[in-house]
Amino acid sequence: MPELPEVETIRRQLAPEVAGRVVRRLDVLDPLWSRPVDPAELGAAVSGRGIREMGRRGKYLLLRLDGGETLAMHLRMTGNLLLVEDGEAAEARFLRARFELDDGRELWFTDARRFGQALLLGDERLEEHLAERLGLEPFSEDFTPAALGEMAAGRSAPLKSFLLDQKGVAGVGNIYADEALFRASLHPLSPAGSMRSGHLEDLHEGILGALRAGLDEGGASIDDYRDARGERGTMQDEFLVHTREGLACPRCGESIRRIVVSGRSTYFCPGCQVRLRRRRRRSRL
C-alpha cells in the first residue's frame, strides 16, 4: 500500500520531470476520481495549466499549478501515478485519469480498486484541508520524542491505532506502523498513553528508521504498488515483521504473530515487543 515512502519515491521521481511543464490536457475517465466534481469540469480546470512542482504532504501527492491552485491526489490502496513515455504503447489497464504534458509524455493515474481521488483547491483552502486531516511530517524538525509524547498523552487507543491515525504522525500506514513498533520493541496493543520517555525515544527512532528503510528500498511492492517508472520497490524483502507470521523474529527468534487491531492485520513478535500497562493517574496531593 502506498504510504509515506512509496508516495515520496513517486514524488522524487516525478518532481524533476514535471516542474516547468504544462498540462496540455487532463482527461478524467472515472467520475469516482474527481467526485463530487464532474470529470469534464475538473479536466477543463487543469488543462492548459503550468506545473510549478510536485509536492507531498502525508500520503497526498500535490501537483502545484500556476495561479495558486493545487491538484491534491491520494493513491489510497491501489493507486499508481506513472510517467508514460509513449501513451500509444502503454497498457491502459485500470486507467482513471490521463495528463498529457507539453513534451509529449503523459502522467497516468491507474487504480484497480478505484479508491483514489483528486481534489483541486486554492492553496489557502488546501492548507486548511490538509491541516484538518494531517499531523506532523515525520521528517520535519517538529517531529520529536516530546511532540510524540504530547500527542499520545492520555490516549487509551492501542499504539497500532495511534500510529495509523494521520492526525498524529502523517504518512504512516499499516506496513510502517508494524515495522516501527517492532524497531521500538513496543507491543501494538499497548495503550498510546502508557509510553514513558524512553519508549517515546524508541518509537520516534523506530518510525524514522522504518520510513528511511522504506525510502532506501524505493517502497514496498506487496502487490499493486509501482513507482512512477512502473517498477517494483524492494522493501517487502526487508520487512522485519510485517507479513512474516510464523517466521522467526530477527531479534529474539520467537515466532512472529498476526493479530487484528482496528480491523488491520498486525504483525509483531510476542517475545521482545513489550506490552505496557495503562498508566495510573497521578493521585492528587
Between residues 13 and 190, which has the closer beta carbon with respect to DNA?
190
Q: Does 24 bind DNA (CB under 7 A)?
A: no
Cα separation of the two ends of the chain:
49
Selected range binding DNA among 139-147, 180-188, 231-239, 260-268, rule: CB under 7 A: 260-268
Q: Which residue among 49, 59, 96, 257 is the active-site one?
A: 59
Q: Does 192 bind DNA (CB under 7 A)?
A: yes
Residues of this chain, 146-185, that bind DNA according to CB under 7 A: 155-158, 161, 164, 166, 173-175
Q: How far is the CB of 224 from DNA (least distance, A)?
A: 8
Can 167 be counted among the known catalytic residues? no
User: Nearest-CA neighbor of 184 among 269, 120, 58?
Assistant: 269
The single residue among 24, 115, 145, 250 that binds DNA, judged by CB under 7 A, is: 115
Q: Does 144 bind DNA (CB under 7 A)?
A: no
Count of chain residues binding DNA (CB under 7 A):
31
Q: How far is the CB of 26 from DNA (least distance, A)?
A: 21
Can 3 be counted among the known catalytic residues? yes
Between residues 157 and 208, which has the closer beta carbon with respect to DNA?
157
Q: How far is the CB of 165 from DNA (least distance, A)?
A: 8
Q: Which residue among 3, 8, 106, 179 is the active-site one?
A: 3
Buried b (16+ CB within 10 A) or exposed e, 54-78: bebbbbbbbbbbeeebbbbbbbebb
Q: Does 208 bind DNA (CB under 7 A)?
A: no
Between residues 23 and 180, which has the closer beta carbon with respect to DNA?
180
Q: Does 264 bind DNA (CB under 7 A)?
A: yes
SS (H, E, C) 53-78: EEEEECCEEEEEECCCEEEEEECCCC
Between residues 99 and 239, which has the closer beta carbon with respect to DNA?
239
Q: How far is the CB of 271 from DNA (least distance, A)?
A: 22
The DSSP code sequence of the chain is: ---HHHHHHHHHHHHHHHTT-BEEEEEE--HHHHTTS-HHHHHHHHTTPBEEEEEEETTEEEEEETTTEEEEEE-TTTEEEEEES-TTTS--TTEEEEEEETTS-EEEEEESS---EEEEEEHHHHHHHHHHH--B-TTSTT--HHHHHHHHTT--SBHHHHHH-TTTBTT--HHHHHHHHHHTTB-TTSBGGG--HHHHHHHHHHHHHHHHHHHHTT---SSS---TTS---SGGGT-SSTT-TTSBPTTT-PBPEEEEETTEEEEE-TTTSB-PPPPPPPPP-
Residues of this chain, 52-81, that bind DNA according to CB under 7 A: 58-59, 74, 76-78
Can 59 be counted among the known catalytic residues? yes
Can 64 be counted among the known catalytic residues? no
Residues of this chain, 89-108, that bind DNA according to CB under 7 A: 94
Interface ranges with DNA (CB under 7 A): 1, 3, 32, 58-59, 74, 76-78, 94, 112-115, 133, 155-158, 161, 164, 166, 173-175, 192-193, 262-265
| Active-site amino acid positions | 2-3, 59, 264
